[in-house]
Chains A and B, each alone.
Chain A
Amino acid sequence: NAGVTQTPKFQVLKTGQSMTLQCAQDMNHNSMYWYRQDPGMGLRLIYYSASEGTTDKGEVPNGYNVSRLNKREFSLRLESAAPSQTSVYFCASSELDQILTEAFFGQGTRLTVV
């Protein structure tokens, strides 16, 4: 039972380079999310997708784009990486139809932009 799988686990980029973080879930959840985690700031929502074919901005969307490729996959793209995007990125999924909606998280991608 894989749950939420993120790739890669670690990445170092040079300023201005682009990359895509991949996320896939096997729990048939409708909703998926991308968060970033920075010291002392908890997790902040970048983008989310309530269902296949829809995406919405979260708290800190600038510098990022997302694609909900199908129900399973939700990717996060950095078009031109900046040092301020050095962070740990978490993908999560949940099923909104349940009252006690919990989110399931991947193991994270540690990104360093130099």
Chain B
Amino acid sequence: GDSVTQMEGPVTLSEEAFLTINCTYTATGYPSLFWYVQYPGEGLQLLLKATKADDKGSNKGFEATYRKETTSFHLEKGSVQVSDSAVYFCALRDTGRRALTFGSGTRLQVQP
């Protein structure tokens, strides 16, 4: 079956530091890949997405590239802010599947 593996958190960084959150996946088909963000007390919001190999999703300074050869979709940001503190979820929707499969989430804490 499908699965998503994320690095365990929490990840604690100082403001303006570089961020990488690793995500790898297994899928039986050719999935679409997503990063969702959950701010404290809120639901999940889509951060970025990619549908095919070598596609780069980007939004709000975050980027992730769909790497089919390494089955990865790592999230990066060049300079984090305190306001980026949240839980980040990597997810996929496989070919022919109706629902998303989520990773366990990675909590990011950015200190001023």
Contact = CB atoms under 8 A, between A and B. Distances in A.
A41 B99 CA distance: 17
B93 interface: yes
Interface residues of B, number: 21
Interface residues of A, number: 27
A99 B43 contact: no
Contacts of B103: 42
A40 to B, nearest CB: 6
B3 to A, nearest CB: 10
B24 interface: no
Contacts of A99: 32, 51
Interface string B63-81: 0000000000000000000
Interface of A: 4, 31, 33, 35, 40-45, 48, 50, 56, 58, 90, 92, 96, 99-108
